[in-house]
Amino acid sequence: MKIESVTAHPLRTELETPFAFSQGWVRARCATLVEIRTNDGLVGWGEAFCQGLEAPEISATIIRDCFAWMITGQSPLDTERLWFEMYNRSRDFGRKGSVMAAISAIDTALWDIAGKAYGRPVWQLLGGAFRREVEPYATGFYRVTGQGEAARLVEEAQMHRERGFRFMKVKIGFGVEDDIEVMNAIHAAMEGSGITLMVDANHAYGRAEAVYLGEAMADMGLRWFEEPVVPEDLESYAHLRGRLPMAIAGGENEHGLYGFNALFRSGAVDIAQPDIGSCGGITGMRHIMALAQASGIEVNPHVWGSSVAQAASLQVIAALPDAHHALFARQPILEYDQSAHPFRNDLTTRPMTMKEGRVAIPDAPGLGIEVRRDTVEAYRI
Ligand code: CA
C-alpha cells in the first residue's frame, strides 16, 4: 500500500456573533483538514489545529508545499518513520507552530488509514482502551462585549449545568479585577451544586498578576489554572506551580516530544494539555504520553478543532494510562467547546454527542468517523 495523494482543505465560516478570548476577537471559525488517499482506495483524515486568530491557509500551504511530495509514494503504515522524516526534514524551519500542526494533521490521517487497513480503532493500535467513555467539560464563557460580563457568564454556567455538565472551564485574562469579579460570581452561583471549575487565561498575564489572581481564586477548588503566562516563560510557570495551591496546566501551545520534554524537565506544569492537531498528531501524543508518565505529569488533551480533531482526541483519551494509578484514580476529562461551530455538527456522519453526561469513544476502524464531502466543499476556501 502506498500514499497516492495528500490534499489540504482549508475551511472557513464567518461567525454571526464574534467573540473574544484574552488574545483577541474571533470573527470566523476555521479548520485545516488533510485528506490522504492510498492506491488501495483507503482514505484517511486529519486536522491541523487552527488557533482562533490563525489563517487556515498557513498549515494548508505547509501540508501541500512541504510534506505532500515528501510522503507520496511511501507506506502510510510507517507512521513513526514518516513522523521523524517530516520532523527532521523541517527542523531548521519547523519544530513549533503551524509546521508541527501540518505534521500533526498528516500523522493523524495516516493513523486513520492504518486503523482502516487493520480494521481496528486507533485506540486498539495504541495498545488498548483504558476507558470507553469520557466525561466532557464545557469550554465556553467567551466574551461578546469584553469586560463587565459577570452576570451573563453566570447565566451561561447555569445553562451548562442544566445540560448535564459537572465540569466547566471559564475564559479569563480580561484584566485581573474583571476576572476576579467573574469568578466570584460564577463560583458563588455554582457552590453546592457539585460543579468543578477550571480557568484559562490564554497566557494573558505576567508572573505577578498571575500570582495575585491565583491567590484570589485559591478557595474555589479549581481543577486547574490553564496558561497563566506565555508558553515561553517556563520559569514563571515553575514559580506559579510552587506558589499557588491549584494545579498549573499548559501545553496547547507546545509541540512535539522535544518541546514537551523541555516543559516537563523545567517543572512547569502539573497537567499537560497537548492538542492532537499541533502536538505532533497521534504519534506526537504517544511520545508525550510516555514522557508525561515518566515525569509524574497528568495528560489532559486540549481540543478546539472540528469533529475530525475531536474524534482523534477521543481515540488518544481512550489509550491514555492513569497518571497516578489508584483504585479511584482521577480520569481525564474531554474539552467540549460550546461556541458556535458548523464544523462540529455537519462535518462527519457521526458527530460527537453527550449522553447522560458522558461521551462514548467509538470502536469503528481508524478515527471512527466518515467525513461529509458536501460540508468540506461548502466551506472550502
Ligand atoms: Ca486553552
Predicted confidence (pLDDT) per residue in 42-70, tens digit:
999 999 999 889 999 999 999 999 999 99
Q: What are phi and psi of 262, to 5 degrees?
A: -65, -40
CATH of the domain at 16: 3.30.390.10
Choosing from 187, 203, 302, 341, the catalytic residue is 302
CA of 165 to the centre of ligand 1 (A): 18
Tell me, yes or no, whether 194 and 267 share the same domain: yes
Domain-embedded: residue 19: yes
212 backbone dihedrals φ, ψ, rounded to 5°: -55, -45
Q: pTM higher than 0.85, yes or no?
A: yes
**Residue 166 one-letter amino acid:** R
* Alpha-carbon gap, residue 125 to 35, rounded angstroms: 20
- Does residue 286 sit in the same domain as residue 154? yes
Distance from chain centroid for Cα 306? 10
Per-residue model confidence (pLDDT) at position 345: 87
Q: Based on the fold, state whether residues 146 and 76 are members of the same structural domain.
A: no
Ligand 1 centroid to residue 72 C-alpha, Å: 34
| Domain match, 70 and 196 both | no
C-alpha distances in Å from residue 254, one per residue of 26, 104, 232, 249, 378: 21, 13, 9, 12, 32
Return d(Cα 350, Cα 315) in angstroms, integer.
Answer: 15
- Which neighbouring-strand residues pair with 299? 272
Q: Provide the pLDDT for residue 350.
A: 83
pLDDT of residue 176: 98
From the list 224, 111, 164, 160, the residue with the least C-alpha distance to 358 is 164
How far is the CA of 205 from the CAs of 51, 122, 137, 357, in angstroms?
19, 38, 24, 33
Q: How far is the CA of 303 from the centre of ligand 1 (A)?
A: 9
159 and 116 in a common domain: no
Q: Is residue 170 a part of any domain in this protein?
A: yes
Q: Are residues 211 and 294 in the same domain?
A: yes
In the structure, ligand 1 is a single-atom ion and the residues with CB under 5 Å from it are 200
pLDDT for the residue numbered 240:
98
In a domain, 368, yes or no: no
DSSP string, 108-152: HHHHHHHHHHHTSBHHHHTT--S-SEEEEEEEE--BSSSS--HHH
Ligand 1 geometric centre to CA of 206 (Å): 16
User: Residue 366: inside a domain, yes or no?
Assistant: no
Catalytic residue check, 302: yes
116 and 36 assigned to the same domain: yes
For residue 157, give the CATH number of its domain.
Answer: 3.20.20.120
Q: Are 163 and 112 contained in the same domain? A: no
Angle, CA of 332, 344 and 305, to the nearest 5°: 55
Regarding whether 139 and 101 lie in a shared domain, the answer is: no
Q: How many domains does the chain have?
A: 2
Helix (H) or strand (E) holding 248: strand 248-250
Residues 105 and 135 both lie in one domain:
no
262's grid cell: 523541555
Distance 333 CA to ligand 1 centre (A): 14
Q: Distance between CA atoms of 195 and 157, rounded to whole angstroms? A: 10
| C-alpha of 233 from chain center | 21
Residue indicated by cell numbers 484517511 = 44
Please give the distance, rounded to the nearest whole angstrom, from the Cα atom of residue 80 to the centre of ligand 1: 28
Residues 116 and 204 both lie in one domain: no
Tell whether 202 and 325 lie within a shared domain.
yes
Residue 367 lies in a domain: no
Residue 365 is assigned to a structural domain of this protein? no
Radius of gyration of the chain (CA): 20
Please report whether residue 167 resides in a domain. Answer: yes
Task: Say if CB 80 and CB 147 are below 8 A apart.
Answer: no
User: How many angstroms separate the alpha carbon of residue 202 from the centre of ligand 1?
Assistant: 6
Domain range for 55: 3-121+373-379
Site of grid cell 461548502: 378
Q: What is the mean pLDDT of each run of 10 residues along the chain (381 residues)?
A: 98 93 95 98 98 95 98 98 98 98 98 98 98 96 95 98 97 98 98 97 98 98 98 98 98 97 98 98 98 98 95 98 96 89 87 92 97 96 95
| 16/18 Cα distance (integer angstroms) | 6
Residue 111 within any structural domain of the chain:
yes
Query: Could you please report the per-residue DSSP string of 57-90?
Result: HHHHHHIIIIIIHHHTTS-TT-HHHHHHHHHHHH
**DSSP category for residue 301:** -
